C-alpha cells in the first residue's frame, strides 16, 4: 500500500512577512513617485526621493516586524510562567480546565480523568497543553524576530524598486509614470498569484484581489500626493 503523505503549508509567518513588506513596497514608493511627477519633471530628483523612501520605509517596516515578533515571544513567556505557577498553586482548578477542554471534544468523564492523571505526572507537558489548547498560543521560534525583520525589510526593498524601475529606464517623468503604473499592476498580479499558490487560495482570484486592493491603495495615495503637491 502506498503510504499516505499529507502536505500542509507550514511557512505562514514567512509568507505573512513577505506580503506585508511587498505590498507596502509596491504601493508606497509608487505613490510617492507619482505624486512628485505631478510637481516636478526631473527624474533624478524623483529617484532620489524614491530610494530615500525605500531606505526609510524598509527600516521602519523591519523594525515594526521585529518588535511585533519580540512582543509575541514576551507574551508567550509571561503566559508560560503563569501556567507553570498555576499547576503548582491551584492544580485542581487547572485539572478541571483540562477536563472541560476534552469534554468539549466529546470525551467521557472517565476518559478525561485518565488524561488528567497522565498530565499531572508530566508538568512540562501539562503546561505545554494548557498553552496550546487553553490559551491558543504556539511557542515562538527563537530567531523569529530577526527573521521577520529581515524578511519584511527585504520584501519592501524588492517591491519598492519595481515601480521606480520605470524612472530609471525613461528620462521623461510622465512617460515613466505611465510605465510605472503598468509595471506595478503587473507585479501586484504576479505577487498575488504566487501568494495564492502558497496559501491555497485560487491563483486567479488571489491575483485579482491583490491587484485591485493594491491598485486602489496606490490610487488613493497618488490622489492625496497630487492634492498636496
Spatial separation of the C-alpha atoms in residues 137 and 131, rounded to whole Å: 6
- Tell me if 5 is assigned to some domain: no
- Tell me if 4 is assigned to some domain: no
Say whether both 223 and 159 belong to one domain: yes
Spatial separation of the C-alpha atoms in residues 177 and 183, rounded to whole Å: 10
Spatial separation of the C-alpha atoms in residues 85 and 169, rounded to whole Å: 63
Which domain, by its residues, includes 126?
77-134
- Tell me if 178 is assigned to some domain: yes
Do the Cβ atoms of 32 and 53 come closer than 8 Å?
Answer: yes
* 3 state DSSP class of 42: strand
Spatial separation of the C-alpha atoms in residues 101 and 133, rounded to whole Å: 8
* 3 state DSSP class of 172: strand
Say whether both 211 and 181 belong to one domain: yes
- In tens digits, the chain (229 residues) has pLDDT values of 455 444 444 456 777 888 888 888 888 888 888 778 777 778 888 899 999 999 999 999 999 988 988 888 888 888 888 888 887 788 788 888 878 888 777 777 777 778 778 877 788 888 887 888 777 777 777 778 888 899 999 999 999 999 899 999 988 888 888 898 889 888 888 888 887 777 677 888 888 887 887 777 667 766 776 677 6
Q: What is the pLDDT of residue 225?
A: 62
Taking the CB of residue 229, how many other CB atoms lie within 10 A of it? 12
The domain boundary residue, chosen from 93, 112, 134: 134
Q: Count how many domains the chain has.
A: 2
Q: What is the pLDDT of residue 10?
A: 43
Place of cell 523569529: 144
Q: What is the pLDDT of residue 136?
A: 78
Say whether both 69 and 154 belong to one domain: yes
Spatial separation of the C-alpha atoms in residues 48 and 39, rounded to whole Å: 15
- Tell me if 152 is assigned to some domain: yes
Say whether both 167 and 126 belong to one domain: no
E strands, the chain, in order: none
Say whether both 37 and 103 belong to one domain: no
Residue among 91, 226, 39, 70 at smallest CA distance from 147: 70
Place of cell 497618488: 222
Q: What is the pLDDT of residue 4?
A: 44
- Tell me if 149 is assigned to some domain: yes
Spatial separation of the C-alpha atoms in residues 17 and 153, rounded to whole Å: 9
Say whether both 162 and 217 belong to one domain: yes
Question: Is the whole-model pTM more than 0.85?
Answer: no
How many alpha carbons fall within 13 Å on the CB side of residue 15?
14
Say whether both 126 and 169 belong to one domain: no
Say whether both 168 and 109 belong to one domain: no
Residues 6+ apart with CB under 8 A from 53: 28, 29, 32, 160
Place of cell 515562538: 140
**CA distances in angstroms from 129 to 39, 105, 191, 214, listed in the order given:** 60, 15, 38, 40
Residue among 169, 170, 219, 213 at smallest CA distance from 191: 213
Amino acid at each position: 500500500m502506498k503510504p499516505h503523505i499529507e502536505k500542509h503549508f507550514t511557512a505562514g509567518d514567512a509568507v505573512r512577512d513577505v506580503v506585508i513588506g511587498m505590498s507596502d513596497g509596491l504601493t508606497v514608493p509608487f505613490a510617492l513617485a507619482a505624486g512628485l511627477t505631478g510637481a516636478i519633471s526631473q527624474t533624478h530628483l524623483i529617484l532620489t526621493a524614491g530610494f530615500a523612501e525605500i531606505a526609510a520605509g524598509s527600516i521602519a517596516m523591519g523594525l515594526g516586524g521585529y518588535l511585533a515578533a519580540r512582543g509575541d515571544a514576551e507574551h508567550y513567556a509571561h503566559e508560560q510562567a503563569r501556567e507553570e505557577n498555576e499547576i503548582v498553586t491551584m492544580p485542581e482548578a487547572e485539572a478541571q480546565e483540562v477536563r472541560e477542554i476534552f469534554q468539549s471534544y466529546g470525551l467521557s468523564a472517565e476518559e478525561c480523568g485518565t488524561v488528567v492523571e497522565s498530565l499531572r505526572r508530566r508538568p512540562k507537558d501539562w503546561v505545554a497543553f494548557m498553552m496550546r489548547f487553553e490559551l491558543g498560543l504556539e511557542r515562538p521560534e527563537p530567531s523569529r524576530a530577526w527573521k521577520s525583520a529581515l524578511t519584511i525589510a527585504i520584501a519592501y526593498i524588492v517591491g519598492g524598486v519595481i515601480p521606480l524601475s520605470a524612472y530609471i529606464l525613461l528620462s521623461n517623468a510622465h512617460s515613466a509614470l505611465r510605465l510605472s503604473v503598468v509595471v506595478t499592476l503587473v507585479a501586484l498580479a504576479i505577487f498575488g498569484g504566487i501568494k495564492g499558490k502558497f496559501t491555497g487560495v485560487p491563483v486567479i482570484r488571489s491575483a485579482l484581489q491583490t491587484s485591485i486592493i493594491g491598485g486602489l491603495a496606490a490610487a488613493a495615495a497618488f490622489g492625496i500626493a497630487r492634492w498636496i503637491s
